[in-house]
């Protein structure tokens, strides 16, 4: 049998091939493009160390800058914050896309006709027309120049180009629906004679959407006193006219009224108090304006000041509605406010008129919320009051609440918790705290 042939082995099997010397039958590939090259990646540990070192160096540079000039650095930070806040406000205003004319308008609530007629008996018959911004400016111009004719619309003493600019702006605002507000209008709050300039734009002819935009701008950029004047002389007359003409309030004007509560003190002194003081606030107006008070949260001190002023104000019928809404917010009111509300109701002890249902409801709300914080003599006086001013449904509830309550300062049960109203009033008395005065501006 023949021997098997030995296998031929290559003595140097792993000799690398020389691509330059050995001919290849395959086509030589092209050089890789730049984006195809594989780049070496830094490990996560090294990258974290680099970031830490960079942050340390940045912190050291910032500390050196603060040590060199700390005041300048603080001003720079404050300016950046103010600029950012202002930019956000401008963006918020400029992003306005308008309200649809078919959008629901507020004021469709059913108003009891009998109750409305009963409230009309408490309205003032001698109240004059409501003052507007135009009345104020015209009166001021006539005081400066007695030769002004009453037939023509007088113009303030301003530059002619400024007058033309803002008269044209007023025409734009009368047909405004959506979009950016002109920068000339945004500059009005910063002007010294802002009321005269605003008069040139004829606010009474602005579109509802323009009134909403104007309220947003003025509520953000004016102080409390100036915002109060804008609310009282521009916004409030426009709202009352719209309710009177349409028996409802346009949705854009309702949103403007809601935005005005951004400054509670200005809202109280520019919207709520003048409305009640006018003596002509009807039930429909009270329901619409009151819905804003009901929906929006108001700081306790501003609510206390508003309740104190309404209680001391001459009664107007619908005043009871606003008092009821503020009482139902269930704030821990100071004793001074509670005593003023008791005095408010006791003014009707000898009144021979038939009190409206809302008056009895406001008294019931007061007794329900604050019955344990009333003095013993106050409860006796209130029982005497409801004995003369009776309502077949509400009066028994008031008497039941008074009979089942403890007096101010008394403890009902040793295991019961202390009333939060008592705690807050104790702190107020120790600090000799007074409710901020809310003086009314004379027209």
Q: In sequence order, which residues have a C-beta less than 8 Å from that of residue 346 and are 6 or more positions away?
A: 381, 382, 385
Residue 114 exposure: Cα atoms within 13 Å on the Cβ side: 4
Gap between the Cα atoms of 319 and 341, Å rounded: 12
342: phi then psi, degrees, rounded to nearest 5: -60, -45
Sign of CA dihedral 339, 345, 348, 350: negative
Closest of 135, 137, 194 to residue 162, by C-alpha? 194
> Which positions ≥6 away from 285 have C-beta within 8 Å?
240, 243, 275, 318
DSSP reduced 3-state for 249: strand
Question: 65 vs 134, which has greater pLDDT?
Answer: 134
Return the pLDDT at 77: 44
Instruction: Report pLDDT for 157.
Output: 73
Over residues 400-418, mean pLDDT? 70
- Predicted confidence at residue 324, as pLDDT, reads 93
The answer to whether 337 and 370 are in contact (CB under 8 A) is no
Whole-angstrom distance, CA of residue 308 vs CA of residue 294: 18
* Positions of E strands within 129-171: none
Residue showing tokens 């606010």: 203
Ramachandran angles phi, psi of 375, nearest 5°: -75, 160
- How large is the average pLDDT for residues 164-181? 88
Q: What is the pLDDT of residue 143?
A: 66
Report, as an integer, the average pLDDT of 39-45. 61
Nearest to 188 by CA among 209, 170, 208, 207: 170
Long-range contacts (CB closer than 8 Å, 24 or more residues apart) made by 224-227: 224/263, 224/265, 224/266, 225/266, 226/189, 226/194, 227/260, 227/263, 227/266, 227/270
Q: Burial of 397 by CB count in 10 Å (0-12 exposed, 13-18 middle, 19+ buried)?
A: middle
Q: How far apart are CA 268 and CA 303, in angstroms?
A: 9
DSSP string of 289-343, one letter each residue: HHHHHHHS---HHHHHHHHHHHHHSPP-STHHHHHHHHHTT-----HHHHHHHHH
Query: What are the backbone angles phi and psi of residue 429, rounded to the nearest 5°?
Result: -70, -35
Place of tokens 């008092």: 323
Instruction: Determine the pLDDT at residue 259.
Output: 92
* pLDDT of amino acid 222: 83
Residues near 73 by Cβ (< 8 Å), separated by ≥ 6?
65, 66
Q: Judge whether 348 and 389 are in contact, CB under 8 Å.
A: yes
Picking from 146-150, 245-249, 357-361, 406-410, which range would have the lowest pLDDT averaged per residue? 146-150
CA neighbor of 106 nearest in space, from 295, 281, 338, 233: 295
- For residues 311 and 363, the answer to whether their CB atoms sit within 8 Å is no
> Which range, 56-60, 73-77, 97-101, 335-339, has the best average confidence (pLDDT)?
335-339
**Mean pLDDT to the nearest integer, 246-254:** 91
Q: 80: number of CA atoms within 13 Å, CB side?
A: 6
What average pLDDT does the segment 133-150 reach? 67
pLDDT tier for residue 304 given thresholds of 50, 70 and 90? very high
In eight-state DSSP terms, residue 232 is I
- CA 101 vs. chain centroid, Å, equals 24
pLDDT at 98: 61
Mean per-residue pLDDT for 264-289?
Answer: 89
Mean pLDDT of 333-359: 89
């Amino acid at each position: 049998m023949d021997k098997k042939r030995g296998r031929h082995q290559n003595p140097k099997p792993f000799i690398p091939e020389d691509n330059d010397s050995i001919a290849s039958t395959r086509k030589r590939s092209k050089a890789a493009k730049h984006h195809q090259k594989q780049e070496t990646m830094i490990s996560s540990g090294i990258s974290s160390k680099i970031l830490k070192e960079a942050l340390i160096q940045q912190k050291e540079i910032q500390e050196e800058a603060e040590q060199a000039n700390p005041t300048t650095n603080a001003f720079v930070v404050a300016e950046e914050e103010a600029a950012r806040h202002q930019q956000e406000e401008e963006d918020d205003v400029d992003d306005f896309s308008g309200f649809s004319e078919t959008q629901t308008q507020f004021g469709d609530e059913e108003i009891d006709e009998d109750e409305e007629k009963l409230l009309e008996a408490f309205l003032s018959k001698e109240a004059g027309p409501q003052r507007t911004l135009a009345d104020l400016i015209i009166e001021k111009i006539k005081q400066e120049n007695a030769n002004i004719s009453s037939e023509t619309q007088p113009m303030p003493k301003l530059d002619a180009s400024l007058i033309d600019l803002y008269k044209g702006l007023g025409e734009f605002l009368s047909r405004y629906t959506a979009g950016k507000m002109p920068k000339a209008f945004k500059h009005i709050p910063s002007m010294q004679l802002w009321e005269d300039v605003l008069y040139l734009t004829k606010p009474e002819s602005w579109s509802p959407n323009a009134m909403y935009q104007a309220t947003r701008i003025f509520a953000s950029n004016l102080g409390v006193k100036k915002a109060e004047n804008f609310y009282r002389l521009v916004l409030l007359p426009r709202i009352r006219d719209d309710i009177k003409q349409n028996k409802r309030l346009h949705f854009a004007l309702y949103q403007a009224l809601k935005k005005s509560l951004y400054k509670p003190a200005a809202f109280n002194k520019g919207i709520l108090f003048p409305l009640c003081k006018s003596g002509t606030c009807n039930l429909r107006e009270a329901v619409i304006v009151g819905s804003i008070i009901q929906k929006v949260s108001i700081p306790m001190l501003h609510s206390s000041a508003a309740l104190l002023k309404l209680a001391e104000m001459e009664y107007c019928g619908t005043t009871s509605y606003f008092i009821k809404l503020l009482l139902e917010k269930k704030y821990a009111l100071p004793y001074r406010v509670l005593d003023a509300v008791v005095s408010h109701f006791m003014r009707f002890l000898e009144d021979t008129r038939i009190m409206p249902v809302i008056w009895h409801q406001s008294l019931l709300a007061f007794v329900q919320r604050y019955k344990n914080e009333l003095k013993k003599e106050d409860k006796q006086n209130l029982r005497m009051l409801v004995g003369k001013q009776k309502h077949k449904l509400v009066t028994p509830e008031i008497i039941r609440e008074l009979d089942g309550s403890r007096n101010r300062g008394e403890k009902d049960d040793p295991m019961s918790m202390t009333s939060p109203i008592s705690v807050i009033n104790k702190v107020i008395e120790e600090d000799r705290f007074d409710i901020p005065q809310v003086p009314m501006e004379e027209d």
